[in-house]
Amino acid sequence: MSKVLVSLPDELLAEVDAEVRRRSTSRSAFLAAAARRELGRRDPIALDAAITRSQRRFAEAGAFESADLVRNDRDRLR
């Protein structure tokens, strides 16, 4: 395991320390979890592209009644 030295604003460190105490964990565990969560996020550009594709697909689908879609799915599964 590697050790790193990071600089954080005093206010942020105070918030981290308060949360660490609340969770009964360590700074290292808390910051490692935060880093993993951030690294697991989707790329914002890819996310924007996915939203644009979805919006285009909905626009191309035309008007529909959502209750009809739910009813058809329910009936199909019976």
What's the pTM value of the predicted model, to 2 decimals? 0.57
Helix, strand, coil percentages (3-state) for the chain, rounded to 5, are 75, 0, 25
DSSP letter (8 states) at residue 63: -
Q: How confident is the model at residue 11, as a pLDDT?
A: 97
How high is the mean pLDDT in each 10-residue block of the chain (78 residues)?
94 98 97 94 90 91 85 90
Q: How confident is the model at residue 42, as a pLDDT?
A: 84
Q: How far is CA 10 from CA 7, 71, 72, in A?
A: 9, 56, 57
Q: How confident is the model at residue 2, as a pLDDT?
A: 93
Q: How confident is the model at residue 69, as a pLDDT?
A: 87
Q: How confident is the model at residue 78, as a pLDDT?
A: 86
